[in-house]
Amino acid sequence: MKKRLAIYPGTFDPITLGHLDIIERAVSVFDEVVVSVGRNIGKQPLFSVEERIEMIEKTTAHLSNVRVTYFDGLIVEYAKKLNAVAMIRGLRAMSDFEFEFQMALVNRTLYPDLVQVFLMPHEAYTHLNSTIVREVSSFGGDISAFVTPYVADVLHKKFYRSSEK
């Protein structure tokens, strides 16, 4: 039988426990989940693509059916290339809905065969995003409830080192 592959695109700057929650739900319904770091023209990321990929790989190391990649360009074209049957997105609150709804309709027009799946994280993560994590960490706050110890360490080093310059 054909492998049912889903793609989960995002900026992941850095990956949080909210993203991980979505990935863990996705792997329970698909054969393989490709977490893909994309370039977002509206965002200037703190971490390089390589750093973000490494953090995702470390955070998902316990999941055998997760692959991490990078894509540039149209996500639907990349999904087609991978033969993905679905695209995963996380929905935290109503505030995500408007944007996600718009994107979903555009993507559906571009690639009607790609099913878009929206997953809700545990309520502990509905307030969480990468921006908050970067901000709290930049002020030396405790981010252990939001990211894995490895990611917390990478963030700490990033701010610690850059403040030494």
**Position 86 contacts ligand ADP (CB under 6 A):** no
* DSSP H helix total and E strand total for the chain: 6, 5
- Catalytic residue positions? 19, 43, 92, 130
Q: Which of 5, 12, 36, 154 binds ligand ADP (CB under 6 A)?
A: 12
Of 109-148, binders to ligand ADP (CB under 6 A) are 121, 125, 128-130
The residue length of the chain stands at: 165
Element (H, E) at 119: strand 115-119
Rank residues 124 and 160 by Cβ distance to ligand ADP and give the closer one: 124
Stretch that binds ligand ADP, among 4-12, 57-65, 136-144, 151-159 (CB under 6 A): 4-12
Token pair listed for 91: 């929905």
3-state secondary structure of 113: coil
Q: How far apart are the first and last CA of the chain?
A: 55
Residues that bind ligand ADP (CB under 6 A): 10-12, 16, 18-19, 22, 40, 89-90, 92, 96, 121, 125, 128-130
